[in-house]
Structure 1
Amino acid sequence: MDITGNTVFIPGATSGIGLALALALKERGNTVIVGGRRTELLEKIAAEHPGVETVRIDTTDAGSVQAAAEDVIARFPAVNVLITMAGVMRVEDWHRPDFLESAENIITTNVLGPIRLIAAFVEHFQSLPDATIMTVSSGLAFAPLKVTPSYNASKAAIHMLSETLRLQLADTTVKVVELEPPSVQTDLLPGQADNDHAMPLDSYVTEVMSIIEGQPDAREIQVERVKFLRYGEARGDYDQVVAALNGSDPHGRLE
């Protein structure tokens, strides 16, 4: 993926990693369209960051995804990068069946949402000379945090989906890149924004942008901090990684 000159649509970018990445990409000379469910947040972003475009989208609603995609393609026919940022993370206890509603919502948002987005853009992207689908998994796709089973599973699914799509789309102009965040200081979980063991948001986005710029053909965007989780099995210390991840810090101090 080139660092500049793109038209980028980022659903789920009204806060956290998504918004920080959107602003960093805009600074590098890209046209950026931010998507989100809450109109008031979109209006606030547009007012505070002139030049950032917005569109309302709810990735849990198939009709909303299709309508938003049609709107984006109509207004920005050069759109050539999709970053499937929208996601949710919740603590669950599977000792009792009341986890089910949470689990269904996580899978709908984190797995069906990206699938719907890709379906809405993949044909358009194949008509372009160069396009990128950037999926968003997690270090937890590779080592489980005990208290977030559905989230871990959803991100493992995104990893394998990314691997497979890269094979299927190899005969097209569409690249598939997987962003693999560690624990970052955002509001993904309560208290995570103030968690000293999570990576500062600015540092994370700076390193991501550096990787994109320095490794434009990278298939996986991995900051150094996530490699502890990503390669535990390959290194042969997977059990130790899981034990460290599920220590005293509920958010995974070594993620």
Structure 2
Amino acid sequence: MKTTGNTIFIPGATSGIGFGLALRLHEAGNRVIVGGRRVELLEQIASDHPGMETIRIDTADAADVSSACADVQKRFPETNVLIAMAGIMRSEDLSDAGFLDTAVAEVETNILGPLRLVAAFAEFLAAQPDAVIMTVSSGLAFTPMAGTPTYSATKAAIHSFSDSLRLQLADKGVGVLELVPPAVQTDLMPGQAEADWAMPLDDFLDEVMSLLPSATREILVDRVKPLRFSAQEGNYDDLMAALAQQAG
């Protein structure tokens, strides 16, 4: 993926990895459109970072995605990169039937949200030069954390979907990249922003930006590789147990 001269739409970029990546891409010479649900955050981003564009979008709302994506394509017809960043992560106790409400919300945001975005943009991007769709899975797609079972499963679904999407769009001129983060110091989960078991955000972004120019499939920082390749390396069960102990 080229790292400058793009017009990039990033739904779910008002905080955390999404916001950090939006800033890095903006600084690298791209036009960046930040999407999010909270108007006050979007207004603050636009005020603090001249040149960055914003649009309100709720990826858990199908009608809102359709409307917002049509607006992006009308206002920014040169958009050639979509980064489907929005996601939520919650702890669940599967022995309590109450987990289902949490699971439904995660599936709505983490799976249906990206699918809606792809549906809205795939045909549009096929007409653009240097077009790329970037999905966001997780190291937990490959080695799940028992305390966040639905989150891990949704990210496994995104990984599988990304592989199929890449093949289907190969002859359309649209590249498909999958960003696979480890735990990063953000507010995704309570206490994670200060946790020593999470990768510092700036370190993660530095490595991602260095990998982007040569990326053609998965974007893997070194810290996520033990999770990504645990099955191949024969320590899947040990890592799952370690993750469960960490969460506890």
Question: Does the residue aligned with 1:246 lie in a helix, a strand or coil?
Answer: helix
Q: Which residue of 2 aligns with 1:187?
A: 187
Q: Which residue of 2 aligns with 1:238?
A: 236
State how far apart, in whole Å, the 2-side matches of 1:97 and 1:107 are. 16
Residue type at the aligned position of 1:243: A
Question: Does the residue aligned with 1:97 lie in a helix, a strand or coil?
Answer: coil
Q: Which residue of 2 aligns with 1:83?
A: 83
State how far apart, in whole Å, the 1-side matches of 2:134 and 2:156 are. 15
Residue type at the aligned position of 1:9: F
Q: Which residue of 1 aligns with 2:123?
A: 123
Q: Which residue of 1 aligns with 2:19?
A: 19
Residue type at the aligned position of 1:227: K
Question: Does the residue aligned with 2:247 lie in a helix, a strand or coil?
Answer: coil
Q: CA deviation at 1:245?
A: 2.0
Q: CA deviation at 1:243?
A: 2.0
Q: Which residue of 2 aligns with 1:49?
A: 49
Q: Which residue of 1 aligns with 2:216?
A: 218
Q: Which residue of 1 aligns with 2:60?
A: 60
State how far apart, in whole Å, the 1-side matches of 2:185 and 2:236 are. 25
State how far apart, in whole Å, the 2-side matches of 1:178 and 1:139 are. 11
Q: Which residue of 2 aligns with 1:2?
A: 2
Q: Which residue of 1 aligns with 2:163?
A: 163
State how far apart, in whole Å, the 2-side matches of 1:84 and 1:129 are. 19
Q: Which residue of 2 aligns with 1:99?
A: 99
State how far apart, in whole Å, the 1-side matches of 2:129 and 2:146 are. 43
Q: Which residue of 2 aligns with 1:151?
A: 151
Question: Does the residue aligned with 1:34 lie in a helix, a strand or coil?
Answer: strand
Q: Which residue of 2 aligns with 1:108?
A: 108
Q: Which residue of 1 aligns with 2:198?
A: 198
State how far apart, in whole Å, the 2-side matches of 1:75 and 1:99 are. 40
State how far apart, in whole Å, the 2-side matches of 1:161 and 1:188 are. 23
Q: How is 1:31-50 mapped onto 2 (pairs within 5 angstroms)?
A: 31-50=31-50
Percent identity, please: 60
CA contact (8 A) 2:175 2:216 kept: no
Question: Does the residue aligned with 1:47 lie in a helix, a strand or coil?
Answer: helix
Residue type at the aligned position of 1:151: Y
The alignment of Structure 1 onto Structure 2 pairs a total of residues equal to: 248
Q: TM-score, length-normalised on structure 2?
A: 0.98
For structure 2, the 5+ residue unaligned runs are none
Residue type at the aligned position of 1:117: L
Q: TM-score, length-normalised on structure 1?
A: 0.95
Q: CA deviation at 1:90?
A: 0.2
State how far apart, in whole Å, the 2-side matches of 1:81 and 1:235 are. 34
State how far apart, in whole Å, the 2-side matches of 1:207 and 1:134 are. 16
Q: CA deviation at 1:244?
A: 2.2
